[in-house]
Amino acid sequence: MASLENEAPVGDGEAWTPLAASSNENVKFQVAGMRSNLWPGAVAAAKGAEFANVYVGWGLKNVPFTPQPPPPVAVEFDMGAMESSELPPKPEREEPPAEDEEEPED
């Protein structure tokens, strides 16, 4: 592992911020931790010889950037334009011409 002294400063501060599990320094089994100021969400914790590293974030460095807000929500979908599973109405049946009527010739 590399020493924290070799880490480049982030802005005007240090690269890491120390964390403590208790404000009382005389706790026998206290867990110590460090939070990265460059990668928000990166935390390292140690207790004796055991340690853990965790990162929970979006993969973005701590930079002075604020993303644009999302676009406004679209209007509600017109359900009338949606296809339906109903069958179309059956066409009306034409009555066959009566036997005494003559068929028109084209």
Tens digit of each residue's pLDDT, the chain (106 residues) = 567 677 777 877 888 888 887 777 777 778 889 999 888 899 999 988 899 999 998 888 887 777 889 999 988 877 777 777 788 888 888 887 777 666 566 5
The Cα 90–Cα 37 span in angstroms is 71
- Name the nearest CA neighbour of 31 among 42, 20, 23: 20
